[in-house]
Amino acid sequence: MSSTTCPLVLVFLISLMFSSLVSFAIGDSMDRDLEISWGDGRGKFLNNANLLSLSLDKYSGSGFQSKNQYLFGRIDMQIKLVPGNSAGTVTTFFLSSQGPAHDEIDFEFLGNLSGNPYTLHTNVFAQGKGDKEQQFYLWFDPTKDFHTYSIVWNPKHIIFMVDNIPIRDFKNMEERGVGFPKDQPMRMYSSLWNADDWATMGGRVKTNWAQAPFTAYYQNYRANACVISPGSSGCPGNRFKTASISDNAWINQEVDAVSYRRMRWVQRKYMIYDYCADIKRFPQGLPAECRTHRPR
């Protein structure tokens, strides 16, 4: 068997395992799947736990996390960001494991002065190594209404999506020595905190505490994912809820031709930073995954 065949066989076996053995976690009211993790009352479940708010004042921010850990899945959350002058604030929605060699998949929303756009910051960490940033403006005002932000994470792809439009596809390129999150279960985390030392215009614009408290809202959390219990090393079928076959599509999801055109549209018009185009940052040569990477 050739070296190029082995990874394909492995992906097929993983896909077969998921389709035949694994059921999936699908959320109901948000307090069933989520818990406030910090903030001393600044994070709140509202409207019979169909709505969740995080607030930030000059004393503290707040955050919540998933009760479960996941190993591959599709995670969706609808978020309405802090309106008005949100300079210095950061609202996050991400997956992460723990420890110095952690894996992480990030959405971070960097606030700005009134009338200026938010910066959507994305990154991927594998075994503690990140430095894979792409940043975007959005094609709508994310403070006026709820919009859906999604992470699709399977053995071959990490796809970042906004309102079901892919904006980034980070592919598994371990054959080139590029780390890919695939072994460490991760929780979903979200937070609202002050980062005015770097978040807005490199820290030149500080948080205006006269505008506090700053508040972001969340609804319709959905985790269609493999749930890992503490101490387990795999995904035995008896640890899961049941889902229809159509809900399992994420395990083989990739960016098809139509979605690729939409992603290219976003990247051409709204991408404001791409580490794979930052030659000055990598004077010894771009990272291995960038050598055939042409997002623009």
**Hey, which residues are catalytic here?**
104, 108
Residue 61: both structure tokens together = 């921010």
Please give the angle made by the CA atoms of 50, 44 and 83, to the nearest 5 degrees: 85
Are 130 and 124 within 8 A, CB to CB? yes
For residue 128, give the DSSP letter. T
For residue 117, give the DSSP letter. P
CA 130 and chain centroid, separation? 14
Alpha-carbon distance of 56 to 262, in angstroms, equals 35
Q: How many CB atoms lie within 10 A of CB 58?
A: 10
Alpha-carbon distance of 96 to 188, in angstroms, equals 7
Please give the angle made by the CA atoms of 111, 115 and 119, to the nearest 5 degrees: 35
Is 153 in a helix, a strand, or coil? Answer: strand
Burial class (CB in 10 A: 0-12, 13-18, 19+), 243: middle
Alpha-carbon distance of 172 to 122, in angstroms, equals 17
Strands 69-80, 62-66: parallel, antiparallel or unpaired by DSSP?
unpaired
3-state helix, strand, coil in the chain (%, to 5): 20, 35, 45
Start-to-end CA distance of the chain, whole Å, equals 37
Are 195 and 119 within 8 A, CB to CB? no
